[in-house]
Amino acid sequence: MGRPLSTADAPHQTIGKLIGLAVFASDALSSTAYGPQEMMAILVVAGVGALPYAIPLSFAIVILLAILTISYEQTIHAYPSGGGAYIVARDNLGMHPALVAAGALLMDYILTVSVSISSGVAQIVSAFPDLYPFRVQIAVFFVLFVMLVNLRGVRESGSAFAIPTYYFVFMMYLTVSAGLFRYFTGSLGTVVNPPSIEHAGVVQPLTIFLILRAFANGTAALTGVEAISNGITAFKEPRSTNAGKTLVIMSFILGTLLIGITFLAVHIQAIPSETETIISQIGRTVFDSRGFLYLAMIISTAVILIMAANTAFADFPRLGALVSVDGFLPRQLAFRGSRLVYSYGIVALALIASLLIVIFNASVTNLIPLYAIGVFLSFSLSQGGMARRWWKSGKLSPGEELKERGSTLRYEKSWLLKMIINSVGCVTTIIVVIIFGITKFLDGAWIIILVIPILVFLFSAIHKHYARVARKLSLDNFGAPPPMVRRRVILTVAGVHRGTLEALRYARTISDDITALHVSIDPEESIRLIEKWKKWGDGVRLVVLESPYRLFIEPLLGYIHEMDKIRKTNEALIIVVPQFVSRHWWNNLLHTRTADTLRKSLLNQQNIIITEVPYQVEENDRSKE
């Protein structure tokens, strides 16, 4: 995916606040396009008269945003190496809460890609209804596109997505400003030909439970707030300062747009619908048509929603690498590709998100119930861990330091105030988790409630495997390995030719105890082989195994197992297999890969070694020249 970058180039791949906002804030900013809609989609069940409740609910969500911003700003400065909820919970609450946070965040990042891109495609479909039947294919295409851009590297993906991000912010502020101006001058009016209410005829009473469901849906707009705290290492120095300022800017934009969009949607009497988004309805009402400005706004919204997946592509691989380094995910996730990005994590995220889009038919309404509960659970664990960190800080003496895995703990004069701030954030987010879990349980939240414990179990199983392997490979209290007394060599012979003699010559360097082994399928061919072996076998004994059922591997394995039974302690059994190697890979398909089959069959047998002796076959024989 471009010119390989050396490890020394890593410091030069960091980003500033301008690009950082595009990389890590696109998820949060884009959620203003679907957060108000999903909130109003619940309220409309009680009739259009319930939609004005969306405005006070949006203010409540912005208050929650302010609490989270203050809390995560503290986290950014306390943990300048990043890691977010996983590192905070690991250092302060223990490994199991950390794994819960990791599982919740990884699920959230997967759903971020699925939801944001599905929502972006919904914007496109709103403007071009003929594309509705192809929304799943379009969504998967955009997932793969964002994956390819991210495989290029952090700086490249940030630069590519910066212009769409700021274009969206400009267009949304232009739309909201124009809408508010027209509202206060009395010229705004209401949406023309709104979509029909999808719940018509099934009006429910407006209850506290319904309002809480709407609030839970609206909190989806806050997913992505934690992204900056997870990606601090991507920022230029001073990293914490740049990351903290980016977080505050992002929260200000998110909060003002959330209130502005909700306010306009209510006053133009927009109807939440799968066929046309409220953003589309606001645009054509504010701009009086589906003209240039409307299309410019729809394009900006669709692009930012698709680009919002970039936040997950920036953070999912980083978090996966942190967890894999601790031994709870496959080690491959910690490997950086040639462009200094965690390529395995990027590809894994794209594949899983695409699968969810296909399963849920690219429907934002169907995906939203799975969303937010995981990230708010990680919010709670992060804030709880930070509160405990400040409590530990208060127990230290001035000037005293305590080195932890993720940071260095020092005495803080304002530890009590900081502990109260994070405690308030923890309690608030726990309340949201409970609300979300209860109100959205039957709608699909039960899936996440079930999946997270399963993920934690898998993390633990992977860690136990790595621990077992480490114990088996450890040299502690091992001493010197016992010497090999003898080496028995079995040379498989399918025919007598140059490749066989090359393997025999190699076998001679290993041991003098060599047995050539041939499986006889065709008696006449075996007779000719025996005669040639007498001439070329250099006195090595040849054992011929009859195979009346024309099997080849089974007799070989039977003989090897018999030799293994009589093998003495500290005696190695070495199987030497001649192997043709052609210059072109497709020619190799024409030859039997005996060594591969034997290797797979004998892999778990101790003191049995399979050695493949390649013989390069030149396709163009130049010996006649």
Distance CA 568, CA 552 (A): 27
DSSP reduced 3-state for 607: coil
| CB-side neighbour CA atoms (13 Å) of 75 | 40
So what's the pLDDT on residue 592?
A: 62
Question: Is a pLDDT exceeding 70 seen at residue 564?
Answer: yes
| CB-side neighbour CA atoms (13 Å) of 600 | 5
So what's the pLDDT on residue 587?
A: 64
DSSP letters along 483-536, please? PP-EEEEEEE-SS-SHHHHHHHHHHHHH-S-EEEEEEESSHHHHHHHHHHHHHH
So what's the pLDDT on residue 158?
A: 59
DSSP reduced 3-state for 156: helix
Average pLDDT over residues 606-611: 81
Diameter of the chain measured on Cα atoms: 106
- The helix-helix angle for 373-394 and 54-78 (nearest 10°) equals 50
Question: Is a pLDDT exceeding 60 seen at residue 155?
Answer: no
Distance CA 559, CA 602 (A): 12
Distance CA 560, CA 605 (A): 11
Q: How many CB atoms lie within 10 A of CB 557?
A: 14
So what's the pLDDT on residue 7?
A: 45
Would you state the structure tokens that stand for residue 572, as one six-digit string?
Answer: 């190695």
Which residues, including other chains, have CB under 8 Å from residue 279's CB and lie 6 or more apart?
Answer: 33, 37, 123, 126, 261, 297, 298, 301
Angle at 284 between CA 281 and CA 287, to 5 degrees: 140
Beta carbons of 265 and 40 less than 8 angstroms apart: yes
* Rounded percentage of the chain residues whose pLDDT exceeds 90: 28
Instruction: Indicate the range of 46-50, 335-339, 401-405 predicted with least confidence.
Output: 335-339
What order of strands is seen across the sheet that includes strand 486-492? Answer: 541-546, 514-520, 486-492, 571-582, 608-617
Angle at 401 between CA 396 and CA 407, to 5 degrees: 115
Distance CA 347, CA 545 (A): 48
pLDDT tens profile 200-252:
556 778 888 888 888 888 887 887 788 888 778 778 888 888 999 999 999 99
So what's the pLDDT on residue 24?
A: 79
Question: Which sign does the torsion angle of CA 333, 326, 455, 94 carry?
Answer: negative
Q: Are strands 514-520 and 608-617 parallel, antiparallel or unpaired?
A: unpaired
Distance CA 156, CA 233 (A): 16
Average pLDDT over residues 433-456: 84
Q: Which stretches of 128-185 are DSSP H helices?
A: 135-151, 154-184
Beta carbons of 114 and 356 less than 8 angstroms apart: yes
* Residue 516 banded pLDDT, cuts 50, 70, 90: very high
Would you state the structure tokens that stand for residue 214, as one six-digit string?
Answer: 């709407």
* Residue 58 banded pLDDT, cuts 50, 70, 90: very high
Distance CA 117, CA 138 (A): 9
Is the peptide bond preceding residue 195 cis, with omega within 30 degrees of 0? no
Q: Provide the residue ranges of all domains of the chain, joining segments of one domain with +.
A: 13-467, 486-617
Average pLDDT over residues 41-46: 87
User: At 436, which amino acid appears?
Assistant: F
Q: Are strands 541-546 and 514-520 parallel, antiparallel or unpaired?
A: parallel
Question: Is a pLDDT exceeding 80 seen at residue 65?
Answer: yes
- The helix-helix angle for 373-394 and 415-439 (nearest 10°) equals 160
138, 156, 139, 159: which is closest to 148 by C-alpha? 156
So what's the pLDDT on residue 624?
A: 43
So what's the pLDDT on residue 623?
A: 43
pLDDT tens profile 325-366:
899 999 888 887 666 678 899 999 999 999 999 998 888 777
418, 434, 411, 417: which is closest to 383 by C-alpha? 418
CATH architecture of 486-617: 3-Layer(aba) Sandwich (3.40)
Distance CA 210, CA 431 (A): 16
* Residue 435 banded pLDDT, cuts 50, 70, 90: confident
Average pLDDT over residues 280-305: 88
Would you state the structure tokens that stand for residue 64, as one six-digit string?
Answer: 């929650």
Average pLDDT over residues 58-77: 90
pLDDT tens profile 378-395:
889 989 999 999 999 988
The residue to which tokens 């590519």 are assigned: 160
Helix (H) or strand (E) holding 423: helix 415-439
What are residue 215's DSSP bridge partners? Answer: none
Beta carbons of 205 and 46 less than 8 angstroms apart: yes
Distance CA 123, CA 128 (A): 9
State which fold the 13-467 domain adopts.
Amino acid/polyamine transporter I (1.20.1740)
So what's the pLDDT on residue 246?
A: 92
Which residues, including other chains, have CB under 8 Å from residue 370's CB and lie 6 or more apart?
Answer: 107, 111, 444, 445, 447, 448
The residue to which tokens 């001679």 are assigned: 508
Question: Is a pLDDT exceeding 60 seen at residue 507?
Answer: yes
Distance CA 152, CA 287 (A): 38
Q: To the nearest whole number, what is the mean pLDDT of the chain?
A: 84
Angle at 497 between CA 494 and CA 499, to 5 degrees: 85
Question: Is a pLDDT exceeding 60 seen at residue 622?
Answer: no
